[in-house]
A and B are shown apart, each in its own frame.
Chain A
Amino acid sequence: AQSVTQLDSHVSVSEGTPVLLRCNYSSSYSPSLFWYVQHPNKGLQLLLKYTSAATLVKGINGFEAEFKKSETSFHLTKPSAHMSDAAEYFCVVSGFYNFNKFYFGSGTKLNVKP
């Protein structure tokens, strides 16, 4: 069965410092993986996706994630946090029998301090 674990429910960083949001997945196949972000009172916005091409995936707003099969991880990083990055981030894995069925992690709330 597919599942996603986001290791931190809350992460707090200072503006200008690096961001690391951790995600581990469980899957018996090579999955498609996504990171979505939700700003307050907004819909979920796609940051980036991995679909078995390059293992280092670049997304919007300077975010990137690296697919590591040996570690079953798909951590999200950004070199320098901006105040506008404060939001909730979701790691998502697609299903196997129904790849349209998304499995979400529990979310990580990112706080950016001035």
Chain B
Amino acid sequence: EAGVTQFPSHSVIEKGQTVTLRCDPISGHDNLYWYRRVMGKEIKFLLHFVKESKQDESGMPNNRFLAERTGGTYSTLKVQPAELEDSGVYFCASSQTLGLGQGRQETQYFGPGTRLLVL
């Protein structure tokens, strides 16, 4: 079974440019998450999709970030315009939706991340 894949693996852009990151979740996973780790900090939650709907976007830093998941399959995260502080590693994860009575056991499977450097 293929894992979560992310593209590109690395991206170097200049301040003010636009970058789009892509995530392909594990097939059949309704839940898709974006996380970010900036240099020297912990990994932080950005947002959570259930199928094509945004369930929780409380971690999105500002309106320069736009996440989409059209059709409920892959997702994109666009940063426009990019700023220096946006540099970091962007992780995507996916999980199944468990049935009732199975408790809070949703394991999230992570991709390798996209390393973004804004100069």
Contacts and interface: CB of A to CB of B under 8 A. Distances in A.
> Helix, strand, loop or mixed for chain A's interface?
loop
Interface string A52-82: 1000000000000000000000000000000
Nearest to A4: B42
Interface in B33-83: 33, 35, 41-45, 48, 55-56, 58-59
Interface in B70-119: 91, 93, 95, 103-113
Nearest to B50: A100
A43 B42 contact: no
Nearest to B95: A100
Given A43-B4, A101-B56, A105-B42, A36 B104 contact: no
Contact of A43 (B3, B31, B55): B3
User: Most B CB atoms within 10 A — which of A34, A41, A102, A105?
Assistant: A102
User: Most A CB atoms within 10 A — which of B33, B43, B108?
Assistant: B43
Interface residues of A, number: 24
B104 A32 contact: yes
Nearest to A50: B105
Given A51-B105, A102-B45, A43 B56 contact: no
A43 B111 contact: yes
A43 B104 contact: no
A51 B41 contact: no
A45 B95 CA distance: 13
11 contacts: A32-B104, A94-B104, A98-B48, A100-B31, A101-B45, A102-B33, A102-B35, A102-B45, A104-B43, A107-B42, A107-B43
A100 B56 contact: yes
Contacts of B103: 51-52
Contacts of B33: 100, 102
